């Protein structure tokens, strides 16, 4: 659907409008009493969230992020689906699945009773590459913006056979400095440390950062939070339908190899805390079954 068609059918004055990026991708701009958020329809990718009254955005987007067809944005909240990380069998398949570069359809927009502005995007079976995903599936992402930001990612198996599913909302948070923040709420949780030799470990206390960090915390349905004294704020992450939490910062050497994190030190201003079902916590969906991974983000003064 064109920009004009989207605005005619789903635009809401003062709340939802659609426009085209200079590169030709369609964007949704949503506004509520609590702030603003922007979504790229390619990938159903929330790439900005600003809370009213806060100077700094909550989400991080690389200065070198490119709005290009077929390329995922570096930053914001990529949708990793229907697998997390490399594909188990297809070495040529894209890491983190195909949903983050697919073009999603707008299904609904409204303002709910609390004043939250809601936008629902869908990815239908005909938009899924059969060579990568030979399963009849529908996928929906509902984004709700009010005093908080809430995402609900729903997968439904409409086929006749069960399938295994991996997924994540790969959220990049904007932080003052990676050496000055800590993640709370995962004390005592087992995790896979994937930097160097893969090892299973147990978290002791809060997570702080002084080197490359890439961890998959398993069997971790609980909420967690990021304390950021530099920005004088705490970011709360409450989730449902997610049993894994991924914590990632590439640090110096890996950031240089990646090349799109914003030179010279964009990596210092970002931290990924991802709500997922991955590794030990991949899901099996039976025919007719529906699963929803939902996350709500809230910011408070520290």
What positions carry a catalytic annotation?
Answer: 170, 274
Determine if residue 263 is left, alpha or beta; phi over 0 gives left, psi from -120 to 50 gives alpha, anything else beta: beta
Strands 35-40 and 45-51: antiparallel
């Amino acid at each position: 659907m064109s920009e004009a068609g989207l605005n005619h059918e789903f635009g809401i004055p003062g709340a939802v409008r659609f426009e085209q990026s200079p590169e030709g991708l369609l964007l949704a701009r949503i506004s509520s009493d609590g702030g603003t958020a922007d979504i790229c329809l390619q990938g159903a990718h929330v790439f900005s969230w600003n809370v009213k009254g806060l100077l700094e955005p909550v989400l991080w987007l690389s200065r070198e992020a490119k709005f290009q067809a077929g390329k995922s944005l570096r930053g914001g909240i990529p949708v990793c689906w229907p697998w997390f990380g490399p594909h188990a069998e297809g070495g040529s398949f894209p890491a983190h699945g195909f949903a983050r570069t697919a073009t999603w359809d707008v299904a609904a927009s409204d303002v709910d009773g609390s004043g939250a502005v809601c936008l629902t995007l869908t990815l239908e079976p005909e938009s899924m590459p059969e060579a990568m995903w030979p399963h009849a599936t529908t996928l929906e992402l509902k984004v709700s913006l009010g005093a908080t930001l809430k995402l609900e990612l729903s997968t439904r198996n409409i086929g006749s056979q069960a399938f295994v599913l991996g997924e994540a909302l790969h959220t990049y948070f904007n932080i003052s400095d990676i050496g000055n923040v800590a993640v709370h709420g995962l004390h005592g949780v087992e995790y896979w440390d994937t930097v160097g030799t893969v090892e299973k470990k147990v978290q002791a206390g809060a997570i702080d950062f002084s080197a490359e960090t890439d961890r998959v915390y398993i069997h971790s349905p609980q909420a967690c939070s990021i304390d950021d004294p530099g920005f004088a704020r705490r970011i709360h992450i409450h989730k449902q339908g997610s049993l894994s939490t991924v914590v990632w910062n590439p640090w110096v050497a890996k950031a240089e190899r990646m090349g799109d994190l914003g030179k010279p030190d964009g990596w210092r201003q970002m931290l990924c805390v991802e709500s997922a079902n991955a590794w030990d916590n991949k899901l099996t969906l039976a025919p007719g079954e529906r699963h929803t991974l939902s996350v709500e983000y809230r910011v408070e003064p520290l």
